[in-house]
């Protein structure tokens, strides 16, 4: 029971939203033609990103959100970051557009929408699956999870969360995307869930969702979530840490890795005010507020090995 | 005649009261002890939500109308002072603590809005600097926002008032440390 609670909390750590339970097999939400054996599926009928081919949108992503995400990705093309300080946080040598695109593409493969139903679309593909000998460290207390708090979904690395769920129960899970199934053998399957909150929570008041500042704010979040596909052994998915003081005291909203998700997001955000050409002080100061907030979450961070779990 | 004089008296009294209670000077922005949030968490949250609603509408209108009149700027400053989030307000507003709470982003926009208005009108410079100073010094305000104010104060004061030097060293270590992580305003 305690173990289940701990894993649930770790799921919460690496996601911006509530816990979605791993589900057992059910009827296919995609109707006839979907392989009964989830592992047998190889091809998906997804909608690939035109800006970052290699990323596939699930049918659950609404068109308007997809258009905004595409615009966010396209913003990478207009960046001109010459200052390479903090590049080591991402494990790269520079912040050139090509480098950033490669980094993101390595870690993001699928984007699913808010209506993605984990209870139906996450299946047990294999029981008694051998994940290797290393377990998941107990890093949190049960007290940290409050089931009564309504959590608004922003964006979460659902693939990494399901990998941890599966590992804990020694089951190989698979996740449905666009009629096919992906085996969750590593957090690097790169499946992220995105909800409307992602757009409303990363917005300068009174500005259009598609404004440059809002695109930059959201772009940093994609990199944050991307980092959750990294790490191994007891640092798999590079989970957040429970804050020991400050505004987020006792919440899993702090960073213990100097190269973890918040650190990655912070490194990018620090570059963005100078990229916000034509932006008002009001817009730049909104980015700065986010920088200060993320900085306040860094608690004695140490460098961690970001090598991802290999595909078994 | 008697009733006319009585009516006149009350009308004058009404306008006197109106002026007295609304025309407080804001050129020296100061925190008011009475404006501290109540300790009841529900009350704190409700108060924060009401303030946020008000500040949001002010920021939105200010963004749509880039140059505010001096009177409108003073109203803006008043609202901004009330909207600077306290530790308790942020904690209670952070239902989803994974990402930066809206209350902090909105405060960031408000702070930047002050800088925008300073750029537009030289008369706004001193009240604006006072606002940043008040915000950076006020211990009831959440640290991340104090740091944004300090960064803005240091950069904007060097831009507009080269003879008055504001340094990070005048502020508490934790605030200046955080402020140094924020990129320089141009």
A300 touches chain B (CB under 8 A): no
Tokens 């320089």 — which residue? B184
Give the pLDDT band of residue A159 (cuts 50, 70, 90): very high
Domain containing A55: what range?
A: 9-301
Residues of A in contact with B105 (CB under 8 A): 201-205, 286, 289-290
CA separation for the pair B65, A86 (Å, rounded): 37
CA separation for the pair B166, B153 (Å, rounded): 7
Closest chain A C-alpha to B172 CA, distance in angstroms: 15
Residue A145 clears pLDDT 70, i.e. is over it: no
Q: Specify if A189 maps to a domain.
A: yes
CA separation for the pair A213, B68 (Å, rounded): 22
**Total of domains in chain A:** 1
Which helix H or strand E contains A126, and what residues bound it? strand A122-126
Least confident window among A17-26, A43-52, B10-19: A17-26
- For residue A198, give the chain B residue with the closest CA: B99
Q: Give the residue from A269, A201, A218, A221 showing the smallest Cα distance to A67.
A: A218
Closest chain B C-alpha to A285 CA, distance in angstroms: 5
Q: Specify if A309 maps to a domain.
A: no
Query: Do residues A157 and A229 make contact, with C-beta atoms less than 8 angstroms apart?
Result: yes
CA separation for the pair A219, B182 (Å, rounded): 18
Residue B34 clears pLDDT 70, i.e. is over it: no
CA separation for the pair A173, A167 (Å, rounded): 9
Residue A30 clears pLDDT 70, i.e. is over it: no
**Helical packing angle, A281-295 and B173-180, nearest 10°:** 120
- Mean pLDDT value across chain B: 79
Residues of A in contact with B142 (CB under 8 A): 247
pLDDT above 90 covers what percent of chain A? Answer: 71
Instruction: Tell me how many residue pairs between chain A and chain B have CB atoms under 8 A apart.
Output: 155
Q: What does the block give as tokens for A163?
A: 């990998």
> What does the pLDDT read at residue B97?
82
Query: Do residues A306 and B132 make contact, with C-beta atoms less than 8 angstroms apart?
Result: no
- For residue B109, give the chain A residue with the closest CA: A282
CA separation for the pair A50, A48 (Å, rounded): 6
**Which phi and psi (to 5°) does residue B127 adopt?**
-60, -35
Residue A191 clears pLDDT 50, i.e. is over it: yes
Q: What's the DSSP call for residue A249?
A: B
3-state helix, strand, coil in chain B (%, to 5): 70, 0, 25
**Which phi and psi (to 5°) does residue A165 adopt?**
-55, -50
Residues of B in contact with A219 (CB under 8 A): none
CA separation for the pair A174, A35 (Å, rounded): 12
CA separation for the pair A16, B98 (Å, rounded): 5
Q: Is A268 exposed, middle or buried (0-12, 13-18, 19+ CB in 10 A)?
A: buried
Nearest to B95 among A150, A247, A284 (CB): A150
Q: Give the residue from B126, B87, B132, B127 showing the smallest Cα distance to B108.
A: B132
CA separation for the pair A36, A276 (Å, rounded): 49
Q: Specify if A311 maps to a domain.
A: no
B112 touches chain A (CB under 8 A): yes
User: pLDDT tens, A257-310?
Assistant: 999 999 999 999 999 999 999 999 999 999 999 999 999 999 989 999 999 998
> What does the pLDDT read at residue B55?
72
Which helix H or strand E contains A123, and what residues bound it? strand A122-126
Query: Do residues B58 and B107 make contact, with C-beta atoms less than 8 angstroms apart?
Result: no
pTM for the model? 0.80
Query: Do residues A276 and A212 make contact, with C-beta atoms less than 8 angstroms apart?
Result: yes
B173 touches chain A (CB under 8 A): no
Q: Specify if A4 maps to a domain.
A: no
B135 touches chain A (CB under 8 A): no
CA separation for the pair A160, A191 (Å, rounded): 8
Q: Specify if A312 maps to a domain.
A: no
A228 touches chain B (CB under 8 A): no
Q: Is A184 exposed, middle or buried (0-12, 13-18, 19+ CB in 10 A)?
A: buried
Q: Which residues of A283-312 are buried (b: 16+ CB within 10 A; e: fewer)?
A: bbbbbbbbbbbbbbbbeebeebebebbeee
Q: Give the residue from A163, A187, A170, A160 showing the smallest Cα distance to A127.
A: A170
A302 touches chain B (CB under 8 A): no
User: pLDDT tens, A195-213?
Assistant: 999 999 999 998 999 999 9
Residue A146 clears pLDDT 90, i.e. is over it: no
What is the ipTM metric for this complex?
Answer: 0.82
CA separation for the pair B105, A290 (Å, rounded): 7
Taking CA atoms, B138 is separated from A115, A282, B130, B146, B175, in Å, by 43, 21, 12, 8, 11
Q: Which residue has the higher pLDDT, A271 or B51?
A: A271
């Amino acid at each position: 029971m305690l173990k289940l609670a701990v894993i649930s909390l770790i799921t919460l750590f690496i996601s911006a939203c509530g816990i979605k339970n791993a589900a057992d097999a059910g009827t296919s939400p995609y109707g006839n033609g979907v392989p009964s054996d989830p592992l047998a599926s190889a091809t998906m009928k997804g909608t690939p990103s035109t800006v970052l081919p290699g990323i596939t949108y699930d049918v659950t992503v609404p068109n308007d959100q997809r258009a905004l995400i595409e615009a966010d990705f396209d913003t990478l093309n207009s960046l001109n970051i010459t200052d390479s300080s903090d590049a080591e946080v991402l494990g790269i040598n520079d912040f050139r557009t090509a480098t950033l695109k490669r980094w993101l593409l390595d870690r993001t493969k699928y984007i699913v929408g808010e209506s993605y139903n984990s209870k139906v679309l996450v299946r047990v593909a294999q029981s008694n699956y051998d994940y290797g000998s290393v377990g998941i460290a107990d890093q949190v207390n049960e007290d940290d999870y409050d089931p009564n708090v309504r959590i608004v979904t922003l964006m979460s690395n659902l693939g990494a969360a399901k990998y941890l769920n599966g590992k804990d129960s020694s089951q190989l899970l698979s996740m449905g995307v666009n009629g096919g199934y992906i085996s969750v053998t590593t957090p690097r399957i790169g499946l992220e869930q995105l909800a409307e909150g992602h757009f409303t929570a990363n917005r300068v008041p009174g500005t259009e969702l598609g404004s440059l500042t809002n695109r930059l704010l959201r772009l940093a979040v994609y990199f944050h979530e991307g980092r959750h596909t990294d790490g191994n052994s007891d640092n798999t998915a590079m989970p957040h840490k429970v804050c020991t003081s400050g505004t987020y005291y006792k919440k899993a909203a702090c960073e213990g890795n100097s190269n973890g998700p918040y650190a990655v997001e912070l490194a990018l955000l620090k570059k963005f005010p100078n990229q916000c050409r034509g932006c008002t002080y009001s817009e730049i100061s909104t980015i700065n507020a986010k920088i200060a907030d993320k900085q306040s979450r860094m608690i004695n961070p140490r460098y961690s090995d970001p090598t991802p779990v290999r595909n078994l | 005649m008697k009733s006319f004089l009585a009516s006149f008296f009350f009308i004058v009294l009404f306008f006197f009261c109106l002026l007295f209670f609304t025309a407080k000077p804001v050129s020296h922005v100061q925190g008011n002890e009475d404006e501290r949030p109540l300790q009841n968490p529900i009350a704190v949250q409700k108060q924060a939500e009401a303030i946020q609603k008000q500040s949001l509408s002010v920021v939105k209108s200010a963004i749509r109308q880039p140059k505010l009149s001096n009177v409108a700027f003073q109203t803006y400053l008043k609202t901004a002072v009330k909207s600077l989030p306290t530790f308790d307000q942020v904690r209670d507003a952070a239902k989803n603590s994974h990402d930066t709470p809206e209350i902090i982003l909105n405060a960031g926009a408000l702070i930047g809005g002050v800088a925008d208005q300073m750029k537009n009108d030289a008369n706004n410079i001193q009240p604006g600097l006072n606002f940043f100073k008040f915000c950076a010094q006020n211990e009831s305000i959440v640290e991340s926002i104090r740091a944004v104010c300090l960064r803005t104060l240091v950069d904007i004061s060097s831009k507009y008032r080269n003879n008055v030097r504001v340094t990070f060293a005048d502020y508490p270590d934790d605030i200046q440390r955080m402020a140094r992580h924020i990129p320089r305003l141009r």
